[in-house]
Amino acid sequence: MGLDTVLYAVLARLIEAIGQELTYLLPNRNFQPRAYASLFRELEETLVDIGLSSFGVSDTSLEELFTANTDGVLQTNGQGPCDVPGGSDGRGSYQVRGLQLTIKQFLALLIKRLQHATRSFKDFLAQIVLPASFVFLALTFTLIVPPFGEYPSLTLSPWMYGRQYTFFSNERPLDAQMRYFGEVLLDKPGFGTRCMAEEPLEDFPCNNITTEWEMGLVNPVLIDMLAGPEWDALRPSPDCQCSTPRKLTMLPVCPEGAGGLPPPQRIQSTGDVLMDLTGRNISDYLVKTYPSLIRTSLKSKYWVNEQRYGGISVGGQLPVLDLQPKTIQDVAAQLGRLLNVTGGKYSKQTLKDIGMFLKYMETQNNVKVWYNNKGWHAMVSFMNVANNAILRANLPKDANLDKYGITAINHPLNLTKEQLSEITVLTTAVDAVVAICVIFATSFVPASFVLYLIQERVTQAKHLQFVSGVSPLVYWMANFLWDMLNYSMSAVMVVEIFIFFNKKCYTSGNNLQALIALLMLYGWSVTPMMYPMSFVFSVPSTAYVSLSCINLFIGINCSAITFILDLFEGTTLNQLLKTVLLVFPHYCLGRGLVDMAMNQAMTDVFARFGEDYSPDPFDWDFIGKNLFCMAVEGFVYFILNLLLQYRFFLDHWISEGPKPFILNEDLDVAQERQRIYESEKTNDILHIKDLTKTYPGMMIPAVDRICVGVSAGECFGLLGVNGAGKTTTFKMLTGRHRRHIRRGVSGRAQVRREGLIILTSILDVHQNMGYCPQFDAIDELLTGREHLHLYARLRGVPEYEISRVAEWAIQKLGLSEYADQSAGTY
């Protein structure tokens, strides 16, 4: 009884036969449950007789149920294999070749990068958001630094120091002129210009209320004491006690009555407390009442207000000298005899009239301004009060005094050369920090460009694209163009941020053009500089961190060192460094931004002196050399990367050493080797002769002189245990390991139909080769359909037939339900 007979009894159906394994589908309808037990018992009893080694049972998976249930729906909707348009062999009607194929491949790589970028949030963050955010944050912090400009003018008035406890004294109260002067000084508008008609002092409004004169309450005993005969004009009141070696005091200790009786006082319309000190010893009063006045301010937690910063006294007489004219004449005569000077008649007449001259030099009705020198502007402020009173006292009687006044304004002096130099350095230092922040921001962008390249190299997607006919030049040019487009978006955002913050050193005049040129040429030069690193790193995250740190180190340190050395004059080392470091795009950008900031600072300094200083930023000695070097470096680094891709720098001239004789070779292998050696003109479409690969540092070759010939239409399988060299052989056949002695690759592999040698003409061989890698060489963010479209373009399928060819492959491989899902979800 055979297996088919046993399974036929339960209506089982054969659905798959692979090698020595058969798969049957057991029915689930009209089937008795006991039949399973009979089936399994029969199989166990006859297992050896029917030629089976084992059997097993498995349930249907949920995926299989879903696929089975949807297959009918797909067929109904016209999505089944029967609805695939003509050309079901999966080929285009013709293959695009030549320049059109190159352009098509170039566009295909750009489309691939676009599809990847639209789904990669990390790329968007690292290449667009992060740089702009750093620059925005840096410029925001620069707003904290107060900008340098003209110092503001200062309006001088007594009220700069708060409410005043001021005083007035008329030493000639009976003089009509002095009496009128006092009325003008005290009545509205009063002191200064605060209470004029239009109130020009906006920060100090007028109160418009003046109280009556008041006398403070005084103890009668104190009145009797001060009326005693011991007090006179020179010592009108008790003295205060200052510090002694035995007793230290911060302020003088004054007894009751020091300074005399309290004077009359009133509140002025300006809000000040005005005291009338007419007929009193002003100096005695001010000195002896100072301790009691200042003690009230000592209670403040913020600052000590002296409160009394000045006052006015009028009607005084100013004696020039207390000497008699005769004394002056005698002194002059003695000097003449001592110096042997004989004067003429005019000199004698002058000495004779000196008494009359001095008499008329003594002025009457003086206005004296008292001021507290602890208030830096007190003297000028109270002098202006006196000037306002003098002005109004000399106006016509019918003039409206409220409309006349003098405002004192202090304008700062021009800065000295040393001050301007210091300010220039400080301003440049702030902008230098901004330049460093720009370097910091732009260091992440080129580092992020390498991530995708490393990922494609590690997953072998890059190699698969080469196998599909893409030349390294097209591959790198397409990636470079895409990276520059991405960088341009980031650079535009940085420029817009500078414009938003109105940084004159980068956005005014020609500076904006220079800024754009610096940023764009930096991207042009630093991007290909990063590309060779894609051959070094295998982990994208490690590469991103490492390259970002390298970019930061070069850009920040080089720019900072030369900027600091600029502060020292005549440094030959600095000039040498400035020349050598131009090989780094990071330095060219950072130093260019610093030079633009320094130039703007100098322009502002010259503008203060009315001179126009505006050098062209594109001059060679300015940033012209930086721009030129970056333009050249872009070509140099890109060509260097291509040479590395083509392995130009590896030694081609080392001769192969002698090879040992092959021992213990299988008979069939030896026969195939002999056939390959003797038959140069065979029908083999693939001809491999002595293909060898030895890895660096290894003595035993991974592949040792393999010889294989594969005929047209033949399916050849390469078998071997782990480590036998199967994968290495396919790497050499597909071009990942080219013929090179230093890299340990030798031998000969040839595509006979085209006459192409694989190890030396791999680019032409790729046009005639298909390759399915050992691992998934896919982009996880692209869908299956997008992958098929990509490789159809790379292979030269006409554009209007790509959708049809891709759909054929999807239906052929049963990928309909997964075709539009990201490959990373498979």
Instruction: Name the DSSP letter for residue 642.
Output: H
Amino acid making up residue 746 = S
pLDDT, averaged in runs of 10, over the chain (826 residues): 49 71 73 70 79 76 56 46 49 84 93 91 85 87 70 89 91 89 89 87 86 86 83 85 83 86 90 90 90 78 77 80 66 70 60 64 82 92 94 90 92 75 69 81 88 90 86 93 92 91 82 91 94 91 91 87 78 84 91 85 74 83 92 94 79 51 74 77 74 76 81 79 78 64 53 56 64 79 90 89 89 84 83
Residues 178 and 315: beta-carbon distance below 8 Å: yes
> How far is it, in rounded angstroms, from Cα 135 to Cα 435?
9
Nearest to 483 by CA among 104, 113, 107, 112: 113
What pTM did the predictor assign? 0.63
Contact 272, 164 (CB under 8 A): yes
CA distance 467 to 765: 8
Residue 546 belongs to what H/E stretch?
helix 540-565
The amino acid present at 17, given as its one-letter code, is A
Q: How far apart are CA 137 and CA 143, in angstroms?
A: 10
Q: Name the one residue in this structure whose structure tokens are 């007449």.
A: 349
Name the residue type at position 785. R
* Check whether domain 667-768 has CATH 3.10.20.30, yes or no: no
Q: Where are the domains of the chain?
A: 1-58, 120-145+429-645, 155-211+238-319+362-409, 667-768
Q: What is the helix (H) or strand (E) element at residue 545, kind and residue range?
A: helix 540-565
Residues in contact with 171: Cβ distance below 8 Å, sequence separation at least 6, in sequence order: 178, 278, 313, 314, 315, 316
- Per the CB < 8 A criterion, the answer to whether 806 and 93 are in contact is no
What is the C-alpha to C-alpha distance for residues 529 and 637, in angstroms, rounded to an integer?
5
* 326, 752, 759 from 682: Cα distances, Å: 145, 9, 20
> Exposed (0-12), middle (13-18) or buried (19+): which is 98, by Cβ within 10 Å?
exposed
The alpha-carbon radius of gyration of the chain (Å, integer) is: 51
Written as one string, the DSSP assignment of 584-619 is SHHHHHHHHHHHHHHHHHHHHHHHHTT------TTS
Res 77: pLDDT = 45
| Structure tokens given for 470 | 């893409």
Q: Which residues are CB-neighbours of 392 under 8 A, at least 6 positions away?
A: 184, 399, 401, 404, 405
Query: Please, what's the b/e burial string for 776-792 (b: 16 or more CB within 10 A of its CB; e: otherwise)?
Result: ebbbebbbbbbbbbbbb
| Beta-ladder partners of 367 | 314
Residue identified by tokens 């021009």 is 414
Does the bond joining 152 to the residue before it have cis omega, within 30 degrees of 0?
no
Which amino acid makes up residue 338?
A: L
Token pair of 53 as six digits? 């080694």
The three-state secondary structure class of 42 is: helix
Structure tokens at 422: 């210091």
Taking alpha carbons only, the member of 513, 481, 603, 562 closest to residue 114 is: 481
Distance (Å, whole) CA 760 – CA 752 = 14
Q: Is the Cβ–Cβ distance between 813 and 773 less than 8 Å?
A: no
